[in-house]
Structure 1
Amino acid sequence: MNGWLATALAVAGGLTMLWLLALAALAIARPRGNLLTEAVRLLPDLLRLIPRLAGDRSLPRGTRIRLWLLLAYLAMPLDLVPDFVPVLGYADDAIVVAAVLRSVVRHAGQEALDRHWPGTPDGLAAVRRLTGLPVNPAGS
């Protein structure tokens, strides 16, 4: 077999393996139960929340960097699962957003989420469930 062909096949196989591992990671990180449907429904509000959080200088730098990287991922024309695939095409974006928001809330605190939430109180309750926070925060 030609050396270039063997190299190309090895690279293609490696990239396919990485893609399958990324899909497996998404399947493991996905919100359980009804939360994935809620995350997809809330995606427009979440897309307004992320830049607000990313621009908040009171949040730790690593948290803001994570949010900017998330925005870059969402802006990329290539997805792990193409958007034209029904349901799953947008679910991968929702899963990535949910995973990053869980991490952000752990590091930045729920006050930042409450302060920057652009949607309805019901939407905030859904995001709280998505990130593992209590739906009714203490003191409300």
Structure 2
Amino acid sequence: MLDRLRRAARHLKAELLALSHAARDARTPWPARAVALLVLAYALSPIDLIPDFIPVLGYLDDLLLVPAGLWLALRLVPPAVLADARAEAARHPRKLARSGWGLALMLAVYALLLLLLWRWLGPGVAGWWAARDSVQ
């Protein structure tokens, strides 16, 4: 069982490396490139949607979101580009390091999500906040 998990983790890392090569290929369409960059940014960012110190849930987002995003990104990349990217990743295996750009991108995405949530809940939150202040 543990050996199978290690093989799956190695395969996931190899696919992420291939995806990084495919994202830099000029033949990759921009929607596939955008999804690939988001997946890579999330996978390599030092911050997660749910922090890892939270028991079970902290690792559950990594176990679900990264493979699901990888699956989607790989489906959007043209097969010829993906084959070339996998071959390049196999020829030059390297470790994907934590990314400062990934951190910046994920912070921007989180800020955008918070802004959208605030705008969506804005009137209700502002009314609640005003009512709370008038009671005190």
Question: What TM-score does the superposition give when structure 2 sets the normalisation length?
Answer: 0.46
Greater helix content: 2
Whose radius of gyration is greater, 1 or 2? 2
Question: What TM-score does the superposition give when structure 1 sets the normalisation length?
Answer: 0.45
Higher relative contact order (CA 8 A, sep 6+): 2
